[in-house]
Structure 1
Amino acid sequence: MRVIEIWRGAVAATHDFLSPEDRLALDEMVCGFLPQARLWLAVDANDYPLAFMLIDSGHMEALFVDPSFRGTGVGAALVRHGLRFHPKMTTNVNEQNSQAVGFYEKMGFKRTGRSPLDDQGRPYPFIHLQHDE
């Protein structure tokens, strides 16, 4: 499935801080729910998915871009689209993923807090962000 390919490629390109064991556990979890999730896709002229975003109740749960299309504006376009529906959208980003933190701050998100653990209780701190209309 294409969204799984995007997720795996994006994680390989941006999540080098994950242990191999944690990466495998996350992969199993993502493969279990992502195919059924209601995603917003960014596609090319041939309808080929380049990136996806998952928003639940105004909270961006996921934004992943195929590594071949990082830096092209496709991720920013998805975020801007989501902000039209959720102007005070929130998200969490791994603290170790400094490129993602910078991306969200450039998009107008402000830090609202920090958690020492991720959602699965692993030692990968989250930065909590909210868009500042």
Structure 2
Amino acid sequence: MHLLNPNVPPIDTISPSDYQELTAVWEASVRATHHFLEEKDIQFFKPLILNEFLAQLEVRCVRENSKILGFVGIADGKVEMLFLHPDARGKGIGKQLLRYAISELNATEVDVNEQNDKAVGFYLHNGFVVESRSELDGMGKPFPLLHMGLKK
């Protein structure tokens, strides 16, 4: 699988000093794509992303002029996060991050908010299939998830 898109900056590592910027990218992305979330939901998740979740993941990003445009976070073969700044959408960055996660970090699974049609379509287009569904997200909140796996 060809990883490098010459129009996309290379995949980069992150450090804890990047967590604030990663959280800002997460928030901008969520506000642009997760229209089913209310402000209270964003404020609930934001400190968890910053203070807990990022540290538990293998995270890679794409930067341009030292600014993070998007990132992917993997744990135990599962894409736990893939978020792009809204200004970076449609440029192949998400696809490059996902291909890297699959080929270099052995990701084969992802849970996607069912209400996030664009994300569901993105994963379907990139070789994933819906394997099951749950009514609640991982935090027990009423945001249905599609549990997807890479086509075998």
Q: TM-score, normalised by structure 2?
A: 0.81
The DSSP-based 3-state class of the residue aligned with 1:120 is coil
Give the gaps of 5 or more residues in structure 2: 1-19
After TM superposition, list the pairs within 5 Å mapping 1:90-105 onto structure 2. 90-105=109-124
Q: Determine if the alignment matches structure 1 residue 40 to structure 2 residue 40.
A: no
Q: Which residue of 1 aligns with 2:35?
A: 16
Contact 1:109–1:131 (8 Å) recurs in 2: yes
AA aligned to 1:40 is R
After TM superposition, list the pairs within 5 Å mapping 1:35-74 onto structure 2. 36=55, 37-44=57-64, 46-74=65-93
The DSSP-based 3-state class of the residue aligned with 1:63 is strand
Contact 2:74–2:105 (8 Å) recurs in 1: no
Per-residue deviation at 1:28?
2.1
Per-residue deviation at 1:39?
1.0
Give the gaps of 5 or more residues in structure 1: none
Q: Determine if the alignment matches structure 1 residue 77 to structure 2 residue 113.
A: no
In the superposition, relative to structure 1, how do residues 125 and 50 fare at CA in structure 2: closer, same or farther (>3 Å)? same
The DSSP-based 3-state class of the residue aligned with 2:58 is coil
Q: TM-score, normalised by structure 1?
A: 0.91
Aligned with residue 115 of structure 1, among 113, 129, 134? 134
AA aligned to 1:130 is G
Alpha-carbon distance in 2 for matches of 1:56, 1:50: 21
Contact 1:109–1:130 (8 Å) recurs in 2: yes
AA aligned to 1:72 is K
Between 3-12 and 34-43, report the one with greater CA deviation.
34-43
Aligned with residue 5 of structure 1, among 18, 24, 44? 24
Alpha-carbon distance in 1 for matches of 2:67, 2:39: 29
1:93-127 per-residue CA deviation (whole Å, 9 max, x = no partner) reads 00000010000000010110000000111110000
Q: How many residues align?
A: 132
Alpha-carbon distance in 1 for matches of 2:49, 2:138: 13
RMSD: 1.6
Alpha-carbon distance in 1 for matches of 2:58, 2:73: 7
